[in-house]
Amino acid sequence: MSLLWEVSITEFLFVTVILGGGAAWMIGRSTALTWSGWAVMLFYVALLTIAVRFIHFSLFNGSFLLPPATFLTALHYAIVDFIVLAAIAAAGRMKVRSSQMARQYGFVGRSR
* pLDDT score recorded for residue 63: 84
Average confidence (pLDDT) per 10 residues, the chain, 112 residues: 79 94 97 94 97 92 83 91 97 93 78 53
Handedness of CA 46, 50, 51, 56 (dihedral sign): positive
**DSSP alpha helices (H): ranges in 1-112?**
9-12, 21-33, 38-60, 71-104
Q: How many CB atoms lie within 10 A of CB 102?
A: 13
* pLDDT score recorded for residue 18: 96
CA distance 85 to 82: 5
Residues shown for the chain:
112
* pLDDT score recorded for residue 107: 76
* pLDDT score recorded for residue 112: 52
* pLDDT score recorded for residue 106: 79
CA distance 47 to 17: 16
* pLDDT score recorded for residue 79: 95
67: three-class secondary structure by DSSP: coil
